[in-house]
């Protein structure tokens, strides 16, 4: 038993290390390899997370006393755009590991240390899924699950950012595993099992809004499987989850109805003051609410590694009847895709908002590869090793700093995605330490596009390589806005926001620095030719 659990433990450790190895956003004189550059929202997540971690360090469990909670969650500095648990994890990682990551200089926060929170969350996600598969399906499925998860670029790429997506994946996994273990049997789950499942769902609710996607799948599944006998466990599950969500976010206490509606309203740009985000999809620019319904399905297919697609194909071709566990998992995994396909529901940033769907699809693909391993003879290590070694092939696509931008072979990789008219890159991730080292010291650099008022200020304050080289960043004034022509122009190839006339510059510019992935440009630093 210990030896078999060791497999899951090693898988989780390797997953955490593969993400943690590339968390360097641009540290000074650091021996850490360059990871992705500082992306939008990381500064907000780190700031809020550190505030929460320090408040918990000051009050401990007494933070949940109404008077102490009011001091922390009623301040104007508290941003209620997201629940606190994911940010608390990032802030705690910042406080625990800042000593471990030098080279920050005068930066306000240690971005790399906070990113370790996501890396550790990814490790726990892989550990939990691997161990669940080992117990439910056997060692071959566990091996395939671990390797496919670690070989999925979107999952690993997001695990290198101080963002909420990887913490959400962890909470989603924790909420899903009890459902797969207890809610797929001929008899309905006991009240204790339902309460424990609900507690896990409550933790997901206080991590990110994606938690509200689970109830439709759980109710539909339970009512179809157990009919009227499902009422008791469903009630227990729902009540336990809502209580945990209420207790876990003291900001809600102040005005439960108004604050709940205010929080849920932030997810829709038409009912809140949230900025409209744009998507570049199939060669056209769309507002987040007007993206075609097939956006999440096409993006998921184009982002899945080829071996995950092949595993799903094997699962179908080998004609092994799916178990109830797999049917429920597919239902849960499909729900985010269905919701974000509904017209009017905002969707943006590639696969970010429906990353949990990757977890279920990966497990299904692992079942296909496990069947192949069984055909090789699972009683011997070499029988498992042949397909397992094949599953290691995607690692070069994940062990690189821009994995978050990596497309799969199903669409022809990044070159094929560019030909299809898909987005080239994420937010600022191409501006890592390697890029800033090639920018001359004391340079004044104009940037386009500037998608957020704090975008350039955050780069100057939180990326040590920028401040150490005294690089000044300014928003580019387009021709119709007037102003003197800049000497240097930094173009971020986020095509949804970059003006068409800047995607292919004229001969008046010479290229100083170019960042690309598989031949597709992510960022370019241009210098105006002398008259």
115-119, 258-262, 381-385, 445-449: segment of lowest average pLDDT? 381-385
pLDDT band (50, 70, 90) for residue 519: very high
Which pLDDT score is estimated for 269? Answer: 45
Residue 81 has pLDDT above 70, yes or no: yes
Residues 175/201, Cβ–Cβ less than 8 Å: yes
74-83, 105-114, 261-270, 280-289: segment of lowest average pLDDT? 261-270
Tokens describing residue 222:
């339970």
Which pLDDT score is estimated for 446? Answer: 95
pTM of the model: 0.94
Residue 395 has pLDDT above 90, yes or no: no
Tokens describing residue 312:
């799903």
CA distance 249 to 530: 58
Which pLDDT score is estimated for 257? Answer: 87
pLDDT digits (tens, 9 = 90+) for 146-185: 999 999 999 999 999 999 999 999 999 999 999 999 999 9
CA distance 455 to 452: 5
CA distance 157 to 19: 8
Mean per-residue pLDDT, 113-117: 98
Residue 76 has pLDDT above 90, yes or no: no
pLDDT band (50, 70, 90) for residue 268: low
Helix or strand holding residue 490 (H, E): strand 488-492
433-528: CATH topology is D-Maltodextrin-Binding Protein; domain 2 (3.40.190)
Helix (H) and strand (E) counts in the chain: 24, 7
CB atoms near residue 419 (< 10 Å)? 12
Which pLDDT score is estimated for 272? Answer: 47
Alpha helices in 30-65 (DSSP H): 42-59
Distances (CA, A) of 204 to 66, 209, 212, 440, 466: 23, 8, 9, 45, 36
Is residue 38 classed as helix, strand or coil in its secondary structure? coil
CA distance 495 to 422: 9
Which pLDDT score is estimated for 155? Answer: 97
Mean per-residue pLDDT, 42-62: 95
Which pLDDT score is estimated for 382? Answer: 55
Give the orientation angle of helix 381-390 with respect to helix 356-376, to 10 degrees: 140
């Amino acid at each position: 038993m210990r030896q078999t659990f060791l497999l899951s433990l090693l898988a989780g450790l390797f997953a955490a290390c593969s993400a943690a190895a590339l968390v360097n956003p641009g540290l000074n004189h650091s021996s850490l390899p360059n990871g992705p550059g500082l992306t939008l929202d990381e500064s907000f997540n780190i700031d809020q997370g550190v505030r929460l971690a320090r408040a918990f360090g000051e009050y401990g469990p007494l933070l949940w006393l109404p008077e102490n909670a009011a001091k922390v969650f009623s301040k104007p500095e508290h941003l209620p755009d997201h629940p606190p648990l994911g940010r608390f994890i990032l802030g705690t990682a910042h406080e625990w590991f800042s000593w471990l990551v030098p080279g920050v200089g005068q930066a306000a926060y240690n971005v790399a240390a906070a990113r370790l929170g996501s890396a550790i969350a990814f490790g726990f996600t892989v550990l939990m899924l691997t161990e669940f598969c080992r117990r439910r399906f056997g060692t071959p499925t566990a091996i395939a699950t671990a390797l496919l998860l670690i070989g999925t670029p979107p999952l690993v790429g997001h695990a290198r950012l101080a963002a909420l997506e990887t913490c959400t994946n962890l909470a989603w996994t924790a909420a899903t595993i009890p459902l797969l273990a207890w809610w797929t049997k001929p008899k309905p789950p006991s009240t204790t099992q339902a309460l424990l499942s609900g507690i896990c769902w409550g933790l997901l609710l206080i991590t990110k809004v994606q938690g509200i996607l689970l109830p439709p799948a759980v109710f539909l599944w339970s009512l179809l499987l157990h009919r009227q006998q499902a009422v008791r466990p469903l009630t227990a599950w729902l009540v336990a989850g809502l209580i945990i969500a209420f207790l876990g976010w003291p900001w809600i206490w102040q005005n439960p109805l108004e604050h709940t509606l205010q929080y849920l309203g932030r997810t829709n740009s038409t009912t809140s003051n949230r900025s409209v985000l744009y998507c570049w999809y199939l060669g056209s620019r769309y507002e987040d609410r007007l993206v075609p319904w097939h956006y999440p399905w096409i993006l998921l297919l184009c982002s899945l590694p080829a071996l995950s697609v092949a595993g799903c194909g094997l699962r179908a071709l080998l004609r092994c009847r799916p178990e109830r566990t797999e049917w429920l998992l597919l239902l849960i995994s499909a729900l985010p895709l269905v919701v974000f396909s509904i017209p009017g529901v905002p969707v943006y940033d590639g696969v970010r908002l429906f990353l949990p769907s990757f977890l279920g699809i990966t497990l299904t693909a692992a079942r296909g590869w496990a069947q192949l391993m069984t055909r090789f003879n699972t009683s011997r290590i070499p029988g498992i090793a042949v397909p397992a070694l094949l599953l290691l092939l995607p690692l070069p696509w994940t062990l690189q700093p821009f994995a978050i931008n990596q497309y799969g072979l199903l669409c022809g990789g990044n070159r094929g995605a560019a030909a299809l008219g898909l987005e080239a890159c994420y937010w600022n991730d191409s501006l890592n330490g390697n890029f800033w080292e090639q920018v001359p010291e004391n340079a004044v650099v104009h940037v386009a596009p500037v998608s957020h008022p704090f975008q350039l200020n955050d780069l100057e304050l939180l990326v040590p390589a920028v401040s150490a080289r005294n690089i000044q960043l300014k928003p580019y004034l387009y021709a119709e806005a007037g102003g003197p022509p800049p000497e240097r122009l930094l173009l971020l190839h986020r095509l949804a926001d970059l003006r068409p006339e800047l995607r292919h510059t004229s001969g008046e510019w010479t290229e100083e620095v170019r960042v690309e992935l598989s031949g597709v440009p992510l960022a370019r630093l241009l210098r105006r030719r002398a008259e």
